[in-house]
Structure 1
Amino acid sequence: MSNPSPEEHAGGAATAPGRTAVATLAGTTLEWYDFFLYGTAAALIFDKQFFPSLSPTAGTLAAFSTLAVGFVARPLGGLVFGHFGDRIGRKATLVVSLVMMGVGSTLIGAIPNYDSIGFWAPVLLVLLRIVQGIGLGGEGAGATLMSMEHAPKGKRNLYAGFPQMGTPAGLVLANIIFLVTNSLMGDNAFTAWGWRIPFLLSFVLVAVGLVIRLRVTESPSFNRVLEQDDVVRFPLAESFKVGFPRLGLTLLAVVANSAVAYVFMVFTLSYGTKNLGYDRQFLILSVTAAAVLWFATIPVWTKIADRYGRRAMFVGGSAAILAWCALFFPLFDTGNGVLAVVALAGMGLIIPVTHCVQGAIIADTFPAHVRYSGSSLILQTGAILGGGLAPMISTALLGDGGSSTGVTWYLVTMCAISLGGAVALFRTVPGGPAAGNEPPARTLTQV
């Protein structure tokens, strides 16, 4: 089968960079809405609905294990969508990933619980979580590439940051809908069946997202790959030519951000309500407010990265996350609402320093003709090692005693690994501190 021409991929006149950035933000927001909605439900609802015969601790572990399944599926989605994204284009793969996530989330809202169909309830939950994971695996790297590859000169980090804003935006949207539905129905009705409503709303939200995404044209970088006849048969294998030292250091540099974010966004909801007695709505509102800070500060940090370079910013942000992780649970464990808000707000202010540019750092590791495959490999592997296991590991470290000391050491260790990886990466990769204009398709770019 011959490759479509660049004109066929472009779909007409080129899309304005601003419209593309907004479209990628809208799409990632909806995908992360679905993904975080599951995380919130896993922390607060799913142990009762799908694992009622287990003890509270075992039920929470089982619910978080289904959360982890989605992360395990993400590399599969990243590899499949990355392969076709490098061979047939970014746009088509991003449309399919959005549909998969929406269908998976909508069907989760329709699954009968354990009391109705027994063993098959958690089985169906896991299967649909796999669908979600595959869909998000295709979204993460692809949306960053689509926006970054449309970026005007000198704004590569800023535009790559728009899809990153979808992470906190999706969390805010998921928590608000979850909270409003809970408030309108009351705890008993919401726990029994009302939790399904936010999942069923995914169908409507994804339909809106598709309308926006279908209006965006193909990436200029991919069109240049087509013009130069640079499409390769196995882009993932070609991406390994970057070299395992650089691939490994890039992975280490980004792994902590995912772990810290999921402890902050998901684990604290379960731990705070069940172990410390915080009110459910108070915690959801506090995490949501912190996510608003996260969202609002990303454009600030990406503009700084474009103007002054992202190396020092990323290393400094990695050190700041490590320091705050050492303080986070001592503040949170006081049971004082004001200090809990301070702990969560600190996360919302510090996490975006590294999160906002990590997508661009990963993408600029690879030349354009294998960028989707290579970026997906790093991003999704880091998500498994970091975020996918973090809530489950944190719950296990609590044990029966309920002490958060082990969780603190776990986060500090992860942050130290990423800080060391970032320092080593930036020392071993030659060149300037920030990515410039789009390089030739087969030229490995700089960090």
Structure 2
Amino acid sequence: MSSLDVYIQNLHDHQCIFQIPKNEVREIEHFVIHIVKRFIPTTIKALNPNFTVLEVVNAGSYFEHTKVKNPDEFDFMVVVRELSTPVSVHIQKGCMAGYANVKLRQRGRWHSSGMEYTPEKEFEISILSFNAFLRQAVSLVPVQKGRYGTLIYQDVAVRGKPYSVFSHVQTANFIWKRKICKTGEEMLYQRSDTTNTNNENLKICVDMMTCCHLPVDIFSEILPISSLSNPSLIKHGCHIVLKPCNTPSCNDKETPCRLISYTKSEVEKMANLDENWKVIYKCTKLLFSYVEYSGIDSYKLKSTILHLSARQGHIELGRGLILVLKSLQISSSKGMLGCYFNSTLNIWSISLSYRYFTKWQILLLFKIFRVFEKIPAGEGQHLLLSQMIDQWIGCT
């Protein structure tokens, strides 16, 4: 075992694990799932019978079992039934690989403006109309009282481009008020040492992205053969979200093409990932989270991990981290990183920020780790590596 292996394992065990007890984490998860999968769909249906939630899909790092520090963010895809059949929508190839042009077949069904819109605009308006009822349903969420704390609704916000009212992500913000045992009261569990914001309170955000769902064979003219024959995509299908592509020609249009998502397959793949690769993913994500200007978001890192784990299988922590950094260095230099479930989709095209600056961040970290991969484990070496990583964080 090298110094790098020891450093990664210690980093994971001390900084990546949840800082609150497992029973409390399970209770927070229970409340969030109840709100998003039961209360909100029922309430939306009561507010507007024209809209039905077909399915709420688990997404993001919490359900992939790769969340670090605290369970303070939950991600979901909310599938609209009325937009999820070939009878409802017609899709064509977008201006970029991995994107689709979506047209609504039944015009004017889900809005009452009385105005005439293009079929592409009708699809966007339908999702935005659904989002308005989604936000209204969120605002009606009652207080959730549990054994270990209370979940209290704060507000709901919208995120994404081009500006908030037309954003594709609805974020519900909650406060988790942790139970404080009174004098003489028996502790229900043993808390670990932690430095949570506001002492006993934890801010929790729940991100919900509205989408439509279609079987993978509907994308026969859009996706490559490798995607169409992928067993996981055949099983789970694909989703289309409002997120537009970033090409100048498409941004100039009133109705840009939309991103095709493989979230359900990605969550399943990540959740079943080899444990060493999960540790590598979480530690790399943690390291880059300390960098103020970084183009390495979790989706680029996740795609890199999925590609490498499929090729390499089980691997030692240090070696795996070296391979991840090397792959990121190459992809940031070339500006090309294929999506695991669609090789034609360039992940760097989804968010281009700081690509060239990121290349040098990775290169420096890569050189540091390459040295320590060759040094046997020892307390002095581990301390030196920790100091060098701290300096790297400070420099970047």
Q: Taking structure 2 as the reference length, what is the TM-score of the superposition?
A: 0.27
Higher RCO (CA 8 Å, separation ≥ 6 residues): 1
Higher Rg: 2
Considering fraction of residues, name the structure with more strand: 2
Q: Going by fraction, where is helix more abundant, 1 or 2? A: 1
